[in-house]
Chains A and B, each alone.
Chain A
Amino acid sequence: MMTPAVIARVMLIAFGAFLVAVPWLIPVILNKFWVSVIAEIMIWSLFAASVNLLFGYIGLLSFGQALYFGFGMYGVAIGVATLGLSFWPAFGLGIVASIAIALVSGIFAVRLTWHYFAIITVVFSLIFYFFAVSVKPLTGGDDGINFALPPTFSIGGVTGSFSDANFQYFFILATVALCFFLMHRVIRSPLGKAFVAIRDNDVRAALIGLNVYQLRLIAFVMAGFLAGVAGALFAFFGRYASASYMFYHVSGEAVVWAIVGGAGTLFGPVVGTTLFIVIREIVSTHWEHHAFIVGAVAILVVIFAPKGLVGLWNAELARWSERTNDASVKTKLRTEP
Chain B
Amino acid sequence: MDTLLLLAMNGLIWGLIIALIALGLSIIFGLLDIINIAHGDFFMVGTVLAWFTLELTGNFWVAFLAVPLIGFILGALIQRAVIQPIHNVAALSIVATFGLSLILQEGVRITFGTTPRRILPPIQSTFHMFGIDYEIYRLFAALVSLLALAGFFIFLHRTKLGTWMRAVRHDRETAIAMGVPAQRVYVLTFGIGFALAALGGVVAAPITTVEFRTGVDILPFCFMAVIIGGLGNLPGTAAAAVLLAFLEGIIQSFADPTVARISSLVLMSAVLLVRPQGLFKGLTK
Contacts and interface: CB of A to CB of B under 8 A. Distances in A.
A115 B35 contact: yes
A-B residue pairs, 3 tightest by C-beta: A295-B102, A298-B99, A292-B106
A127 B265 contact: yes
A130 B262 contact: yes
Interface of B is mostly: helix
B272 interface: yes
A298 B106 contact: no
Interface size class of A (residues with CB under 8 A): 35 or more
Nearest to A108: B273
Given A115-B90, A116-B272, A299 B99 contact: yes
A295 B100 contact: yes
A108 to B, nearest CB: 6
B171 to A, nearest CB: 19
A299 to B, nearest CB: 4
Interface string A113-140: 0111011101110110011011000000
B272 A119 contact: yes
Interface stretch (A16-24, A32-40, A255-263, A315-323): A255-263
Given A108-B269, A298-B96, A130 B261 contact: yes
Interface in B150-209: none
Contact of A259 (B95, B102, B269): B95
Contacts of B96: 298-299, 302-303
B89 interface: yes
A112 B276 contact: yes
Contacts of A252: 37, 94, 98
29 contacts: A55-B91, A108-B273, A115-B35, A116-B272, A116-B276, A120-B272, A120-B273, A122-B220, A122-B223, A123-B224, A123-B269, A124-B269, A126-B220, A127-B266, A130-B265, A134-B259, A255-B94, A256-B99, A260-B95, A289-B109, A295-B101, A295-B103, A295-B106, A298-B95, A299-B103, A302-B86, A302-B95, A302-B99, A303-B86
Nearest to B99: A298
A127 B110 contact: no
Given A115-B231, A292-B102, A263 B91 contact: yes
Interface in B63-110: 82, 85-86, 89-92, 94-96, 98-103, 105-107, 109-110
